[in-house]
Structures are given as C-alpha cells and as structure tokens.
Amino acid sequence: MLQFKLVLLGDSSVGKSSIVHRFVKDSFDEFRESTIGAAFLSQTIKIEDKGSQQEVVIKFEIWDTAGQERYKSLAPMYYRNANAALVVYDVTQQDSLAKAQGWVNELKTKVGEDDLVICLVGNKLDLCSGEEENSSKPKAVESSEAEGYASEQGLLFHEVSAKTGEGVRQVFQSIGEKLYESKKHELAASKGRHGVGETGNVQLQRPSTNDATSCCS
C-alpha cells in the first residue's frame, strides 16, 4: 500500500472538513480502512495501474486544519512532507476564489516537495443547483474562471457538493491517480534499493518485545 499525506486549505467556512467527511464516511462501507482518528483522517482508494492493469491501493493520510488557519496559525509541521493539497473555495462566495489563490501561493512557498499535487475545489455546488428554486443562490464564481486559473497553475480542478456527495469521490480519485503517476518510478526504484525502512525512524507505537523491564526483576 502506498501512503500519501494530503492537507486541506482554504478559508474558514468554505466546507473543507465536510468534503473530507463526506469522502471518508461515504466510502466507509466499501472500504474497511477508513478511520476518523485523533491525529488525522485516513482513507484508502483503489486505482488502476495504466500499464499493468493491476489494482493499486492508495492510503490518504488527511490533515484537517482543525481551525488553525483562522488566525494564520498553521504550523510548519502541517505543510511538511505533504504530497497533495486540497485548496477549497465556495462557489457562492466571490472573494473565496481569490483567497484560495492566496493559499496556493502559500503552499508553493511552504512545501518543499516538487511533485506536490494541488487540487482546486469549488464547494457548495448544491446551493446553486436550481432544483430548489427558493433556496438557490447565484453561482458567484464561474467554472471557467476557476478552471482557467487552475490550468494556468497546473492544478487539478473539480466542483463538488459535500452535502450531496456530488463530485467528491472524483476529487480523491484524480489526486490518487496523479500522485501514482508521478511517484511510481521513484517508488519502484526505492523499493529495489532498500526494501523497507528507508527512513530509519523509530516507531513509538511499537516497543520491542525485548523489553528491558521484563528481564531483570
């Protein structure tokens, strides 16, 4: 299984968390790896390797801002080693796209990763679906405008509704595919070289069974 860190960005109240919760909860029955954990949310998806036609499982470790973006209080830790980012705006709020663009710039300066995959996501599509005449809001950000910006910056682009679930799965699917495409050669190479444990980190949840206290009472 391949694991990637995905961070959420965008102004408060554009619905960052709801997109992720929709994704994680909806997919729960289908995939058992889903978790809403204390540290971050995680969810697996399956994609197809275009060459070998084989299924590849990708696990997203999804970091929510937990409100720390409100007063510009996101820590360097949040951005570190991120592989992908969802930058969210609200399709009914005109200024939210400009703010999303600000977050894209912030990301590019804060994340060292060259292959960072950024996906621009317009949320709250349901508010301007027009099906419920009375509650319908005008769409304040035209798709073409956001899409133009996205392609200019090399970002993925989607419009979704976290409320109805429309488009949510595709966001993560397309991020997964793009990540896999950009990483698979690198991954194959590193596997051949080191096998497991390339980083030499100690996993704190895994004490060795050879515990010092057990042998010298």
CB of 102 to another protein, least distance (A): 17
**Closer by beta carbon to another protein, 34 or else 129:** 34
State whether the Cα torsion 62-66-69-73 is positive or negative.
Answer: negative
**Closer by beta carbon to another protein, 133 or else 216:** 216
CB of 97 to another protein, least distance (A): 20
Question: Which residues are CB-contacts of 124 (< 8 A; sequence separation ≥ 6)?
Answer: 14, 15, 90, 91, 92, 161, 162, 163
Phi, psi of 44 (to 5 degrees): -105, 150
**Closer by beta carbon to another protein, 73 or else 164:** 73
| Spatial separation of the C-alpha atoms in residues 117 and 108, rounded to whole Å | 11
CB of 200 to another protein, least distance (A): 6
| Spatial separation of the C-alpha atoms in residues 185 and 158, rounded to whole Å | 27
The answer to whether the beta carbons of residues 4 and 179 sit under 8 Å apart is yes
First to last CA, the chain: 41
**Closer by beta carbon to another protein, 53 or else 208:** 208
**Closer by beta carbon to another protein, 27 or else 161:** 27
State the residues that interact with another protein by CB under 8 A. Answer: 1-3, 12-13, 17, 21, 25, 28, 33-40, 42, 59, 64, 66-68, 70-73, 75-78, 80, 195-208, 210-217
**Closer by beta carbon to another protein, 76 or else 192:** 76
Nearest to 150 by CA among 208, 201, 88: 88
CB of 79 to another protein, least distance (A): 11
CB of 65 to another protein, least distance (A): 8
CB of 215 to another protein, least distance (A): 5
User: Nearest 5°: CA angle at 49, between 48 and 55?
Assistant: 50
